[in-house]
Amino acid sequence: MSINANIPEGPMADKWTNHKMNSKLINPANKRKFNIIVVGSGLAGASAAATLSELGYKVKCFCYQDSPRRAHSIAAQGGINAAKNYQNDGDSVQRLFYDTVKGGDFRSREANVRRLAEVSVNIIDQATAQGVPFAREYGGLLANRSFGGAQVSRTFYARGQTGQQLLIGAYQALEKEIQKGGVEMYTRTEMLDLVVVDGHAKGIVVRDMRTGKVSSYAADTVLLATGGYGNVFYLSTNAMGCNASAAVKAWKRGAYFANPCYTQIHPTCIPVSGEYQSKLTLMSESLRNDGRIWAPKSPDDAAAIRAGKKQASDIPEEDRDYYLERKYPAFGNLAPRDISSRAAKEACDEGRGVAKTGLGVYLDFRDAIDRLGEDAIRARYGNLFQMYEKIAGENPYKQPMMIYPAVHYTMGGLWVDYNLMSNLPGLHVLGEANFSDHGANRLGASALMQGLADGYFVIPTTVANYLATQKPGSVTTDHPEFAKVEKEVTDTIDKLMNVRGTRSVDYFHREMGLLTWDVCGMDRRKEGLEEGIAKIKELRAAFWDDVRIPGAANGINMELEKAMRVADFLEFAELLYIDALNREESCGGHFRGEYQFTSESPEVIAGKTQAGEALRDDENFCYVAAWEFTGVGEEPTLHKEELEYEDIKLAIRSYA
């Protein structure tokens, strides 16, 4: 299969305009004849389903929760970027484009990012018109805040619930279209496989999670907007149900999986407290607008804090190390996520961690409270402070928060071209599930932007380029391929139910998570990854040999649901390690311990960067790694999309 990104001709700034002009149009009468399946109802899926239905297409939308409003996008806290320049602080489409490419450590596709920056402004208009209650200033105009990796204020927000408000806007648009008859919604319905007919994605096989019934749906094209794969680490800030199954199934049916090793560790999460823990909670990056991150300078002070003999307030100013402000004076506490996370790990590795486990640093609001008063801080972050207090049992207005990095977002995903279409024709991928816009590291407040850009503004134009080549309704579920895939799905379910082993699904999920964090977390190395590949094969074999799934396959069975997701993760984890092993450089969220600047590096001596920073290898790795499935446990085939930078000059990514 070919790997052609289909980037439009012309100067960077004109590509999207030109592409829209040159894209195929489908007349309104014909649109009604085309069926589109949208899997996922998060920001990307809901916005796409609603907009495609408005255009006249017939849409079927699926989600595993009981309502589309509960998709994981709901949990996004901090905000959404847009190049509105309402603050008149020098922002522009070009600057957002540049910041995003640089933030992604020069590993994203320029043309896609440029388009993202362009449509960002329309998203804010659209959401506001839907009634999304963005924060406002006293004059009645929209307010902004700053996020990491930017020196302008371009983040729009709705208290600490931006994702919730944007998703409810998209959800309401979706429900409106359901009411008008353009969308059929299937809730508590999980996609278990993709059906490919004559080399084109033409349908899905699903399981009704209430009854256990397995059935098929056919369409002219299939859109996956199924979110990220962060739960391969078991503990992450993702919702419990987030999974990679739809993407893994598509991969196994021929869609390439791109850059799985680009995973994002978020610097400010509530630290792990015990083995029973089921998930980690994010403390929004927006807190870094007012909070200062520090660890004690001396390991002795840190040990005293861990032993409960000292408190944060006992450490005098001169004994505190505000390490981000020290190392990255230009960005300070707003240094990007990958860099801030590694810096926290470094402090803890030096024995300066303050949580009981040794894995935690402070996020301190003392100075902001002194400057602005407790009420002002409450107005900005009240719900986050409350959430912290509930989980940690400590009052963050009095004592600094304790935070530590945790898995949060996945930049990798299914490979797509400029039209958001996979190499597998007919399959389109949107939102966190695709790989396209964030390179090796995503900047804060850019995922919501990308999900909504894809759903509201990109796919409604680009899907026509594929559909125009297809005869509507040419494939139905009568095609024998559907029965075949359905049988494969029910066989897998039977096989799982019949293992009747001794260990629970959670046991395997936790083991996989620990292993993944160990070998493919914040510091990856060759030996570890090789060991990980061997161990994950063993764990996968043990799973199929010894997993215990109680109950029956008909009716609600949440252990079975989890087991199917974990089975897919166990195959995916191997690909993740292989990609991390292949990429012999450090970039963004992918940090290979062997590849970092040292005090001897000429760039460090010249003052361009610092020892310990990620060392990219543009000569050999300035490409997208798109992996083709060749069999479970088999070495996948690597396809390279070379990245060419026309507009932005490749440079050392410096925030000093």
Partner 1 sequence: MSTLNLTLKIWRQAGPEAEGKIETRKAQNIPIEASFLEMLDIVNQQIIETGGDPIHFDHDCREGICGMCSLTINGVPHSKEVGTTTCQVHMRKFNDGDTIFIEPFRANAFPVLKDLVTDRTAFDRIIASGGYIDVRTGSAPDANSVPIPKEQADWAFDAATCIGCGACVASCKNSSAMLFVSAKAAHLNSLPQGQPEKDKRVLSMVRQMDAEGFGNCTNQYECEAACPKLISADNIAKLNRDFAIASVKEAVAMV
Ligand X SMILES: Cc1cc2nc3c(=O)[nH]c(=O)nc-3n(C[C@H](O)[C@H](O)[C@H](O)COP(=O)(O)OP(=O)(O)OC[C@H]3O[C@@H](n4cnc5c(N)ncnc54)[C@H](O)[C@@H]3O)c2cc1C
Cβ-based neighbour number of residue 248 at 10 Å? 23
Q: Which does 140 bind (CB under 5 to 8 A by kind): partner 1, ligand X, none?
A: partner 1
Measured distance CA(267)–CA(339) in Å, rounded: 9
From the list 91-99, 233-241, 571-579, 643-651, the region that binds partner 1 by CB under 8 A is: 233-241
Query: Is 40 an interacting residue with respect to ligand X (CB under 6 A)?
Result: yes
Question: Residue 45: which H helix or E strand, with range?
Answer: helix 43-55
The region of 38-46, 112-120, 338-346, 381-389 touching ligand X under the rule CB under 6 A is 38-46
Q: According to the binding rule CB under 6 A, does residue 165 interact with ligand X? A: no
φ, ψ dihedrals at 524, nearest 5°: -105, 145
Total residues binding ligand X (CB under 6 A): 44
The helices-and-strands tally (H runs, E runs) of the chain is 20, 19
For the residues of 491-544, what is the DSSP string, one character each?
HHHHHHHTT--SB-HHHHHHHHHHHHHHHHSSSB-HHHHHHHHHHHHHHHHHHH
- Select the residue interacting with ligand X from 31, 58, 60, 72 (CB under 6 A): 72
Our finding on whether 558 is near partner 1 (CB under 8 A) is yes
Contact between 138 and partner 1 by CB under 8 A: the answer reads: yes
The rounded distance, in Å, linking the Cα atoms of 621 and 501 is: 44
Length of the chain in residues, anyone? 656
- Chosen residue from 81, 100, 112, 126 binding partner 1 by CB under 8 A: 126
Compute the least distance from the CB of residue 241 to partner 1, in Å. 5
494: left (phi over 0), alpha (psi -120 to 50) or beta: alpha
First to last CA, the chain: 43
Q: Is 462 in the site for ligand X (CB under 6 A)?
A: no
Identified binder of ligand X from the candidate list 178, 201, 209, 282, rule CB under 6 A: 282
Q: What are the angstrom distances between the C-alpha of 146 and each of 150, 372, 401, 437, 443? A: 7, 17, 20, 20, 11
Q: Which one of 11, 555, 593, 633 is in contact with partner 1 (CB under 8 A)?
A: 555
CB-nearer residue toward ligand X: 43 or 344: 43
227 near ligand X (CB under 6 A): yes
Binding at 126: pick from ligand X, partner 1, none (beta carbon under 5-8 Å per type): partner 1
Instruction: Please say which residue, 26 or 269, places its beta carbon nearer to ligand X.
Output: 269
The string of DSSP codes covering 322-389 is: -HHHHH-TTTGGG--HHHHHHHHHHHHHTT---STTS--EEEE-HHHHHHH-HHHHHHHHHHHHHHHH
- Judged by CB under 6 A, the stretch of 70-78, 129-137, 303-311, 582-590 that binds ligand X is 70-78
Residue selected from 65, 410, 436, 465 as contacting partner 1 according to rule CB under 8 A: 65
User: 269 vs 522, which CB is nearer to partner 1?
Assistant: 269
Residue 648 interacts with partner 1 (CB under 8 A): yes or no: no
Residues belonging to the active site? 337
Binding site for ligand X (CB under 6 A): 39-45, 62-65, 71-73, 75-80, 162-163, 190-191, 225-227, 237-238, 242-243, 245-246, 282, 408-409, 431-433, 445-448, 451
